C-alpha cells in the first residue's frame, strides 16, 4: 500500500534537532527491546490494536513523513498509515545452533537498516523466540527525529500497564541529589565564590568542547577505531545487568549518588578492557560524550502533559551533550578502584557548576540560522566521531509492567547509526540496572568488555564493603 498525503501543507515544522538527526550527515535511531517472561503467542493482534488506538494518536509524527516545502523548510506531513508495513514478525530458521545468537544477529541487522523516508519513521518487530533472557521480545525501532529517549519512553509506557494492578500508575525512582545545600543558606562570600567557579568552569568546558568537536581527536584505542564510515560497518548489541540494591549499597557507603557509582563502574570497566587489549591505552587520552536530558524535571510526565506546548517538558528532542574525560588507569586507581567513583563524583559535581551545556545548545542554534541545519549535523557528526564513546541513560519504572497482559521481564535500549565504535546505554527497571553495549563488530570484543565491566563492578563492591555505611551514622 502506498502512503497518501492527507493534507497539502505540513502540520508541524521539524525541529532543528530533528533535522540534525535526519540529514545527509546523520541518521540516528533509538532501539528499544521489551523482554517477556511468558510466551507471546497471539500477541500480534493485540499489539496491532494498541498501535492503532494508543500509539498512533499520541503524536502526529507517528503518522507523518518528513518533507520539504516550497521554501525549502522541512515539515511533518500527515499520511495514511498501513500498520502491516510497520510491524514485522520474523520466522526463525528450522535449524538453529543458538536462539541467542540468532536474536543478537537479527537485532544488530535491523538496527543498521535505514527506514524508508516515504513512510513514518518507526517500526515494530515481534519476535516469538525463546532466548536465555526471555520467552519472546518486542523490538521498537524509532528514528531519533521523532523525539528523544524521554519522549519515546513516555510513548512506550502509555502502551503498557502495571502488571499487578492496571488501575494504578507506574512509579519511578526519585532523582533528587543527596546532601545538596540549599542556595538560600549560602552566604554572600560562598555565592560569589560559586559564581566565579561557574564562570571559570563554563569557559574551560565550553572551549574544550569546541576543540573536541572540531580539531582534537581522541587517540585510536581498543574502543575507538577512528576508521572513516564506522556508521556503515556491522555492529553488535549485547547487554548485562547489575543489582540496583548493590549499587545503592556502594552509594550509601561512599556518600555519593547512584549516577556517580554507575559512571565510575563504566569508566573503570572501560579502562580495564583497554588495558587488557593494549596495555599502553590505559593512559590514552579518551573522552566519553554523555547525552543529557535538558528538561528540568524529576520523572516522566503523562503523555497529555508532554504534548502540551505550555508544559515544562514538551514533546521533542530536548537533549544536549557533554564531553567527559575517561579517567586514566593509574597505579593508585588500580590498587584502589574507589578512586574511579570519587573521580566521577568530583567531575559531575564540577560539571554542574558549568553552563557549557546550554551555551553549546545556543551556539548550535545560532550556527543553524547562519549556516543551515546540514552544517550543524556535520558539526555533531564530527563531535561523535572525535570521541571514544557515547553514554546515555534512562530511568525505568519500579513496578513490573505488562503489555496486553504479558508480563515484561526486562527492558533495554541503545542508539544506532552514529559514527562511534562504542555506545553504552543504561536503564533501570524493577531493581535491575541493564547496561547495553553497541559496538563496532570485529573491532571491539564485546564478551571481554562485559567481563571487564563485571570485574570492575565486583572490585568496587568489594572495596566499598570495607567502608562503613554513612547513612547509618
Residues pairing with 422 in the sheet:
439
Task: Give 64-101 pLDDT, tens digit per residue.
Answer: 999 987 777 889 999 999 999 999 999 887 766 788 99
CATH number assigned to the domain comprising residue 362: 3.30.559
d(CA 276, CA 296): 40
Total-model pTM: 0.88
What angle (nearest 5°) sits at the alpha carbon of residue 60, between those of residues 77 and 395? 130
d(CA 106, CA 127): 10
d(CA 311, CA 154): 14
Q: Is the pLDDT of residue 206 over 80?
A: no
Residue partners of 349: CB distance under 8 A and separation at least 6: none
d(CA 353, CA 26): 31
**C-beta atoms surrounding 136 within 10 Å:** 21
- pLDDT band at residue 412 under the 50/70/90 scheme: very high
How buried is residue 363: exposed, middle or buried, by Cβ count under 10 Å (0-12/13-18/19+)?
A: middle
Cell numbers at 67, concatenated: 518533507
- pLDDT band at residue 318 under the 50/70/90 scheme: low
Residue partners of 330: CB distance under 8 A and separation at least 6: 283
79 within domain boundaries: no
285 within domain boundaries: yes
Q: What values do phi and psi take at 466, rounded to 5?
A: -80, -5
Q: Is the pLDDT of residue 418 over 90?
A: yes
Instruction: Give the β-pairing of 432-440 and 235-243.
Output: antiparallel
3-state DSSP assignment of residue 355: coil
Provide the pLDDT for residue 430: 93
Rg (Cα) of the chain, in Å, rounded?
A: 22
3-state DSSP assignment of residue 161: strand
Q: Is the pLDDT of residue 312 over 50?
A: no
Sign, CA torsion 254/257/262/263: negative
What angle (nearest 5°) sits at the alpha carbon of residue 302, between those of residues 300 and 304? 140
Task: Give 145-193 pLDDT, tens digit per residue.
Answer: 998 877 777 777 778 889 999 888 888 776 554 444 444 445 666 665 6
Residue partners of 107: CB distance under 8 A and separation at least 6: 31, 33, 139, 237
Domain count for the chain? 1
Answer for the pair 30, 415: CB distance below 8 angstroms, yes or no.
yes
More confident of the two residues 53 and 10: 53
Cell numbers at 195, concatenated: 559564581
Most confident of 249-258, 317-326, 446-455: 446-455
Provide the pLDDT for residue 363: 79
State the chain's mean pLDDT as an integer.
84
More confident of the two residues 336 and 151: 336
152 within domain boundaries: no
Task: Give 274-308 pLDDT, tens digit per residue.
Answer: 999 999 998 899 999 888 766 655 555 554 554 45
DSSP 27-69: B-EEEEEEEESS--TTHHHHHHHHIIIIIHHH-GGGGEEEEE-
Q: What values do phi and psi take at 259, rounded to 5?
A: -60, -40
d(CA 433, CA 147): 23
By residue range, what is the domain housing residue 366? 185-294+307-391+428-472
Provide the pLDDT for residue 184: 46
463 within domain boundaries: yes
3-state DSSP assignment of residue 395: strand
d(CA 62, CA 328): 44
288 within domain boundaries: yes
Order of strands, sheet of 422-429, starting from the edge strand that comes earlier in the sequence: 235-243, 432-440, 422-429, 389-395, 287-293, 319-325
Q: Is the pLDDT of residue 432 over 50?
A: yes
144 within domain boundaries: no
Cell numbers at 202, concatenated: 563554563
- Counting DSSP H helices and E strands in the chain, the numbers are 14, 16
- pLDDT band at residue 450 under the 50/70/90 scheme: very high
Amino acid at each position: 500500500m502506498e502512503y497518501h498525503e492527507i493534507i497539502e501543507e505540513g502540520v508541524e515544522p521539524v525541529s532543528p534537532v530533528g533535522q540534525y538527526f535526519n540529514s545527509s550527515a546523520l541518521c540516528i535511531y533509538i532501539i528499544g527491546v521489551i523482554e517477556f517472561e511468558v510466551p507471546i503467542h497471539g500477541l500480534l493482534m493485540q499489539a496491532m490494536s494498541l498501535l492503532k488506538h494508543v500509539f498512533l494518536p499520541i503524536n502526529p509524527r507517528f503518522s507523518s513523513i518528513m518533507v520539504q516545502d516550497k521554501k525549502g523548510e522541512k515539515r511533518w506531513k500527515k499520511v495514511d498509515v498501513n500498520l502491516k508495513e510497520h510491524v514485522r514478525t520474523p520466522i526463525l530458521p528450522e535449524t538453529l545452533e543458538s536462539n541467542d545468537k540468532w536474536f543478537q544477529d537479527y537485532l544488530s541487522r535491523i538496527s543498521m537498516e535505514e527506514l524508508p523516508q516515504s513512510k513514518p519513521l518507526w517500526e515494530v518487530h515481534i519476535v516469538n523466540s525463546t532466548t536465555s533472557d526471555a520467552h519472546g521480545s518486542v523490538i521498537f525501532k524509532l528514528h531519533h527525529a521523532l523525539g528523544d529517549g524521554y519522549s519515546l519512553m513516555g510513548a512506550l509506557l502509555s502502551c503498557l500497564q502495571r502488571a499487578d494492578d492496571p488501575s494504578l500508575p507506574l512509579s519511578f525512582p526519585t532523582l533528587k541529589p543527596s546532601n545538596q545545600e540549599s542556595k538560600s543558606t549560602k552566604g554572600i562570600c560562598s555565592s560569589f565564590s560559586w559564581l566565579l567557579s561557574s564562570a571559570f568552569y563554563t569557559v574551560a568546558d565550553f572551549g574544550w568542547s569546541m576543540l573536541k568537536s572540531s580539531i582534537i581527536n581522541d587517540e585510536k584505542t581498543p574502543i575507538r577505531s577512528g576508521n572513516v564510515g564506522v556508521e556503515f560497518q556491522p555492529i553488535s548489541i549485547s547487554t548485562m545487568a547489575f543489582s540496583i540494591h548493590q549499587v545503592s549499597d556502594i552509594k550509601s557507603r561512599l556518600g555519593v549518588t547512584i549516577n556517580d557509582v554507575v559512571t565510575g563502574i563504566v569508566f573503570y570497566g572501560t579502562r580495564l578492557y583497554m588495558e587488557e587489549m593494549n596495555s599502553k591505552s590505559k593512559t590514552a587520552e579518551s573522552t566519553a560524550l554523555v547525552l543529557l536530558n535538558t528538561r528540568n524535571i524529576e520523572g516522566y510526565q503523562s503523555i497529555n502533559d508532554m504534548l502540551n506546548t505550555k508544559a515544562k517538558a514538551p514533546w521533542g528532542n530536548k537533549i544536549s551533550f557533554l564531553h567527559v574525560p575517561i579517567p586514566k588507569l593509574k597505579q593508585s586507581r588500580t590498587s584502589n578502584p574507589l578512586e574511579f567513583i570519587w573521580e566521577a563524583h568530583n567531575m559531575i559535581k564540577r560539571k554542574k557548576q558549568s553552563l557549557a551545556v546550554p551555551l553549546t545548545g545556543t551556539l548550535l542554534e545560532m550556527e543553524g540560522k547562519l549556516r543551515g541545519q546540514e552544517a550543524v549535523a556535520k558539526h555533531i557528526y564530527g563531535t561523535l566521531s572525535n570521541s571514544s564513546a557515547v553514554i546515555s541513560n534512562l530511568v525505568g519504572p519500579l513496578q513490573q509492567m505488562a503489555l496486553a497482559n504479558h508480563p515484561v521481564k526486562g527492558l533495554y535500549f541503545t542508539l544506532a547509526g552514529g559514527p562511534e565504535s562504542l555506545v553504552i546505554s543504561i536503564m533501570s527497571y524493577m531493581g535491575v540496572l541493564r547496561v547495553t553495549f553497541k559496538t563496532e563488530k570485529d573491532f571491539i570484543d564485546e564478551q571481554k568488555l562485559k567481563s571487564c565491566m563485571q570485574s570492575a563492578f565486583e572490585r568496587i563492591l568489594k572495596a566499598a564493603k570495607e567502608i562503613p555505611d554513612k547513612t547509618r551514622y
